[in-house]
Amino acid sequence: MNALIAVAIAPCGTGDEMSSYVGEVVKVIRDSGLPCQTYSMFTEIEGEWDEVMAIVKRATMVLAERGIRTEVVLKADIRPGYTDMMHGKIKRMEEQIQKKEGKVL
């Protein structure tokens, strides 16, 4: 079943700057080949539930297996019958904004 996951994986107790650690995590996600987009606070990943969750686990273990306390925040949208939700949700929202502003699509 297709799932869109927003995940934030970050170390705890490593100081103020986490970008190098987060970069390692994001690289694992990007290297998975699944559709993904990274934003300032979350990375979205889309694919079959088991595949996405396996990538979340692999990305988490990048830090945890080195003994780093790791925090994972995850939000999931499982919508049977839908694919490409990463782009489709944004497209539908933009269409609604345009409609409310009276603009022709």
For 2-100, the fitting CATH number among 3.40.50.720, 3.90.550.10, 3.30.70.930, 1.20.1440.230 is 3.30.70.930
Tokens 């502003």 belong to which residue? Answer: 101
Residue 104 pLDDT grade (very low, low, confident, very high; cuts 50, 70, 90): low
pTM listed for this prediction: 0.84
Provide the 10 A C-beta neighbour count for residue 52: 25
- Please write the tens of the pLDDT for every residue from 38-95: 999 999 999 999 999 999 999 999 999 999 999 999 999 999 998 888 888 889 899 9
For the chain, the domains span 2-100
In angstroms, rounded to a whole number, what is the distance separating the alpha carbons of residues 5 and 74?
7
